[in-house]
DNA sequence: CCCTGATTCGC
DNA sequence: GCGAATCAGG
């Protein structure tokens, strides 16, 4: 496979959307994630900047590695074109309600993935909640059948409502949820201020 | 062990 | 230019 125009475009698009190199590689087919990353670099769009790229802490690096070769300073990449993608913006408002419990889940989860108890009226880390509502905008919004071992199975919305979906973002390794949802799902029951130390 | 991106360097 | 191997991290 070679980097045709279309493939490069898709690469750019997906990379811009925050997809991981491996996901992009999988989508493109015929290439490895290394190839994707390599291409990304060559295209000069290594960082996913767009405006929210904090140029913090880039002054010096504690480089203490024995480099037995001549080192070439990487050329600074010019400002890439921020392709404006007028994609979907159907949900300007995010409901801040707690995830509703699943209906008859025990019978319909294909992979037999247990869905841990939903934090109902629990007191969850506000930061974690904020993170969740933020990532829910980026959620894949998968249906039940679309869930895999690698997609976040966090339910969003009311199951009795047409707009009920599953997060679908890449899961945290091992866990059934993405990072953000793991944050609220596996909140160690420590509402108490008892920290063993 | 799963994953991520970053870099190097032979091709 | 390409990407496998490797590196460095989560």
Q: Is residue A73 part of a domain?
A: no
Higher pLDDT, A48 or A20: A20
Residue ranges making up the domain that contains A177: 126-196
Q: Is residue A66 part of a domain?
A: no
Q: Is residue A106 part of a domain?
A: no
User: Of A39, A56, A73, which residue sits at a domain end?
Assistant: A56
Give distance CA A38 / C1' B7 (Å).
Answer: 9
A34 has pLDDT over 90: yes
Q: Which residue has the tokens 């880390």?
A: A125
- The reply to whether A2 Cβ lies less than 7 angstroms from strand C is yes
Q: Is residue A67 part of a domain?
A: no
Give distance CA A35 / C1' B7 (Å).
Answer: 13
A128 has pLDDT over 80: no
What global pTM score does this model have?
Answer: 0.49
**How does pLDDT run across A165-179, given as a tens digit for each residue?**
898 888 888 888 988
Mean of pLDDT values over A36-43: 93
How many CA atoms does the CB half-sphere of A7 hold within 13 Å?
15
Q: How many domains does chain A have?
A: 2
User: Residue A119: which of A154, A149, A71, A83 has the closest Cα?
Assistant: A154
**How does pLDDT run across A85-98, given as a tens digit for each residue?**
444 444 344 434 44
A39 has pLDDT over 90: yes
Is residue A59 within 8 Å of A93, Cβ to Cβ? no
Q: Work out the number of other CB atoms within 10 angstroms of the CB of residue A127.
A: 10
Mean of pLDDT values over A157-166: 88
The SS3 assignment for A170 reads strand
């Amino acid at each position: 496979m070679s980097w045709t125009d279309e493939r490069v475009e898709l690469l750019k698009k997906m990379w811009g959307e925050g997809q991981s190199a491996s996901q992009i590689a999988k989508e493109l087919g015929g290439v490895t994630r290394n190839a994707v990353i390599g291409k990304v670099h060559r295209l000069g769009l290594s960082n996913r900047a767009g405006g929210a790229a904090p140029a913090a802490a880039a002054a010096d690096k504690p480089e203490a590695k024995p480099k037995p070769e001549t080192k070439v300073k990487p050329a600074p990449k010019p400002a890439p074109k921020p392709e404006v993608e007028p994609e979907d913006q159907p949900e300007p408002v995010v409901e801040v309600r707690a995830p509703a419990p699943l209906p008859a889940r025990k019978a319909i989860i294909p992979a037999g993935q247990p869905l841990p108890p939903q934090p109902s009226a629990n007191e969850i880390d506000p930061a974690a909640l904020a993170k969740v509502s933020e990532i829910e905008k980026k959620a894949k919004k998968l249906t039940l059948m679309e869930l895999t071992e690698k997609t976040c199975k966090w339910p969003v919305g009311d199951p009795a409502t047409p707009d009920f979906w599953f997060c679908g973002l890449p899961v945290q390794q091992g866990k059934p949820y993405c990072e953000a949802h793991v944050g609220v799902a596996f909140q160690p029951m420590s509402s108490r201020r008892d920290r063993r130390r």
